[in-house]
A = this chain, B = another copy of it.
């Protein structure tokens, strides 16, 4: 059974808001063994919503729609759904009472008129309770077609999807999971990676491979292709093992863990503490490391030493060193890494200094020049890189490269 995900919101097709809901739903459905045929985004236009629901139901049995359930006049998903299902909006008294209580608790001086509309539901629809907000999820069902309506606010959508939609789908359409293997690589480009991996594979085996480059890394996913004869688990595993063995020095994970989760595990297990000194990356590395719950176990501190003075005050980088070599130089990167390690007493430290641009470059040190240093009790080393791309990409690549350097240091004996 195929599904279509439908994101509704004029803000999305005007490019003002990024639709992250559809990707989330798609990933969760895929893991649960369902196939998403399409993701569509359309504006808050009642006629177009109705037409799209009708078009999609000519292809699939289930639509999961997000957005347009809010209290303002531009939210018209419910009325469009009513139009398709020949239903009408009625006031759900129980829901209305619940919402009144909620709004009073939220300290509104009066229950806002607009939010009353949140208790209007299509007649015959099943209400999917939303404990995180005021827009309930809804399930409309007729002619063998299922239409789920979820609010567009990501946290509310996620809660409803996990607690209501997915259980309903699994109960109705429960199916065997497709077996998938993953080989996550770093420090090697997509073309060269594919060339190395596909050497020695049959034509059929090659169709199992997909390459997903993201942020300077490439994931190799081995799975049943969208069409063709079904692949069995041993076949998939064999191809994944072959792929990993061909590029052994670049494989950081054989599961869904990202590089930072891999680092987190190693640091936690070995009880090592990490400290950071960032200049051009501006806190991005600290932010990425602390994105993970539990990072306080191994992350000591980060210093975003953007100005030269900050490098001196917090990291004890000598003024003279900066004056003599420039802030973007191997000696300064080394001093930053050593400074932050000494100050915090951490076992390991990374330092990043560079020119993220678009201004600040010179002939000798053009935009994209970045020095990364790693310090540990066995010594401190710095490497110079020249990254392409815009400011955001240079910051991103610096961060990933620093993580790669740390990963190579921590795993050098096992690879």
Residues in A lying within 8 Å of B, measured CB to CB: 10-20, 22-30, 36-45, 47-48, 52, 70-74, 108, 112-115, 132, 134, 153, 155, 190-192, 194-195, 206-207, 209-214, 219, 221, 226-227, 276, 278, 282-287, 289-291, 293-296, 299-307, 309-310, 313-314, 343-345, 357-360, 388-393
Contacts and interface: CB of A to CB of B under 8 A. Distances in A.
Contacts of A44: 210, 226
Given A41-B22, A284-B283, A190 B12 contact: no
Nearest to A16: B212
Contacts of A19: 23, 39
A29 B15 contact: yes
Number of copies: 2
26 contacts: A12-B39, A13-B30, A13-B36, A13-B39, A14-B30, A14-B36, A15-B30, A16-B30, A16-B221, A19-B39, A37-B42, A38-B40, A73-B206, A74-B211, A134-B191, A153-B213, A155-B393, A282-B289, A282-B290, A283-B287, A286-B286, A286-B304, A301-B313, A302-B306, A303-B303, A313-B343
Contact of A305 (B36, B289, B301): B301
Contacts of A207: 73
Contact of A27 (B16, B47, B283, B296): B16
Given A40-B40, A72-B211, A313-B344, A113 B13 contact: no
B190 A72 contact: yes
Given A17-B214, A191-B71, A282-B289, A300 B309 contact: yes
Contacts of A305: 301
B300 A306 contact: yes
Contacts of A210: 10-11, 44, 74
A303 B360 CA distance: 23
Contacts of A358: 293
